[in-house]
């Protein structure tokens, strides 16, 4: 993102009142390749097309803060690949990673990956290194280290049902797995920060925290996220578009200061649960309005959010969750236009 966009983002995260509520979207492989007119596999395997797609987005919508900005990723295969998962890539479908943990006992011999050399991670870093001069020539810089969160990665490695069951049936092994993943993530974010000194923010995405109750969150998520967000980054960004009311009140304690929720809890309620300490990125319905609705539907939804939200100083207008597939240029334009004249 540009320096001006970064300054605005930091200002909103700090709760400072803005002349106009800014607009931001998380964009990655579910939306960007097909919007640009290429297959998802082309986006992953052709560094030039990856860069051009990201450049096209920032040129088409200069008023929008795209997060994390020039996201170098391979979808849900990114972190599991470092643990040795077989990654399946179709031409124009989202990739997925096969399980590597088939029995609880497999965790006992699970090795911590080296993020500098293992799986697809060095390809991600090298793509960014190659593109960095052109990114900076466009007036933008790399501002975030990015990863999925520890519970999310655990479910990739062994399955959602299997991991959640293990939390109840064999909690010691669940903690053992989360310890290995968290150690890996601490190193992975540090590797990214060392590679790009311009990084001043961290983004983690973990919907699995929305699948557990408060007690389980406090035991199996809180201590690991506390470690991961214990740094001097200016923007500590978290995405969980599943349910959040069992966990969101703890986010400020973890250090999180920017949150992208789902559609389940109103922004006013989120602010209430967090004592107005959390800036919200949201929360237009992503599928039913932003992707499937008309520009008039988008316009109405943006204005409705602005009418209802009490604390606009801790708000970036967006959709609930990341940008979904099939969102049109016209609908994004309608979103930006509606926000501009409020």
Q: Which tokens hold the place of 46?
A: 């052709």
Secondary element (H or E) of residue 181: helix 171-195
Q: Where are the domains of the chain?
A: 3-340
Please say whether the structural domain 3-340 has been given the CATH code 2.30.30.30: no
> Is pLDDT at 309 greater than 70 in this prediction?
yes
Give Cα separations from 146 to 42, 65, 149, 328 (angstroms). 22, 16, 9, 26
**272 Cβ neighbours under 8 A, 6+ residues apart:** none
pLDDT at 305: 94
**242 Cβ neighbours under 8 A, 6+ residues apart:** 207, 208, 209, 210, 211, 262, 264
> Is pLDDT at 286 greater than 70 in this prediction?
yes
Secondary element (H or E) of residue 87: strand 87-88
Q: Which residue has the tokens 């809890």?
A: 265
pLDDT at 163: 98
Give the global pTM. Answer: 0.96
Three-state SS across 230-272?
CCCCCEEEEEECCCCCCCHHHHHHHCCCEEEECCCCCHHHHHH
User: pLDDT (tens digit, 9 = 90+) per residue, 66-115?
Assistant: 999 999 999 999 999 999 999 999 999 999 999 999 999 999 999 999 99
The model's confidence at residue 25, banded by pLDDT at 50, 70 and 90, is very high
Beta 315-319 vs 279-284: how paired, if at all?
parallel
Please name which of 122, 126, 121 lies closest in space to residue 47, comparing C-alpha atoms.
126
pLDDT at 342: 65
What is the arithmetic mean of pLDDT over 181-191? Answer: 98
- What is the chain's length? 342
> Is pLDDT at 3 greater than 70 in this prediction?
yes
Secondary element (H or E) of residue 96: strand 96-97
Contact 206, 148 (CB under 8 A): yes
| Dist. CA 213–CA 56, nearest whole Å | 41
The torsion angle over the Cα atoms of residues 222, 267, 35 and 292, rounded to 10 degrees, is 120
């Amino acid at each position: 993102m540009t320096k001006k966009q970064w300054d605005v983002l930091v200002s909103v995260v700090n709760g400072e009142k803005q002349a106009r509520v800014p607009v931001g979207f998380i964009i990655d492989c579910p939306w960007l390749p097909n919007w640009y007119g290429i297959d998802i596999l082309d986006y992953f395997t052709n560094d030039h097309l990856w860069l051009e797609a990201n450049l096209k987005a920032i040129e088409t919508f200069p008023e929008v803060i795209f997060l994390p900005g020039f996201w170098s990723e391979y979808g849900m295969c990114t972190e599991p690949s470092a643990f040795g998962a077989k990654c399946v890539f179709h031409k124009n479908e989202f990739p997925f990673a096969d399980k590597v943990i088939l029995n609880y006992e497999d965790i006992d011999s699970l090795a911590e990956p080296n993020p500098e050399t293992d799986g697809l991670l060095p390809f991600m870093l090298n793509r960014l290194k190659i593109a960095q001069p052109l990114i900076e020539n466009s007036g933008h810089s790399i501002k975030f280290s990015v990863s999925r969160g520890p519970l999310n990665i655990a479910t990739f490695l062994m399955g959602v049902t299997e991991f959640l069951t293990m939390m109840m049936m064999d909690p010691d092994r669940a903690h053992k797995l989360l310890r290995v993943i968290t150690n890996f993530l601490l190193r992975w974010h540090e590797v990214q920060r060392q590679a790009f000194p311009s990084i001043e923010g961290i983004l983690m995405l973990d919907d699995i925290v929305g699948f557990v109750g408060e007690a389980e969150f406090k035991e199996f998520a809180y201590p690991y996220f506390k470690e991961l967000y214990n740094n001097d980054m200016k923007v500590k960004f978290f995405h969980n578009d599943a349910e959040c009311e069992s966990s969101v009140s703890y986010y400020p304690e973890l250090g999180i200061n920017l949150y992208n929720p789902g559609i389940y809890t109103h922004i006013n309620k989120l602010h209430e649960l967090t004592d107005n300490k959390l800036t919200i990125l949201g929360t237009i319905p992503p599928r039913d309005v932003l992707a499937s609705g008309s520009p008039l539907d988008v316009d109405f939804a943006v204005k409705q959010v602005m009418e209802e939200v009490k604390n606009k100083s801790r708000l970036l207008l967006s959709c609930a969750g990341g940008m979904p597939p099939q969102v049109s240029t016209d609908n994004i334009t309608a979103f930006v236009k509606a926000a501009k004249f409020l």
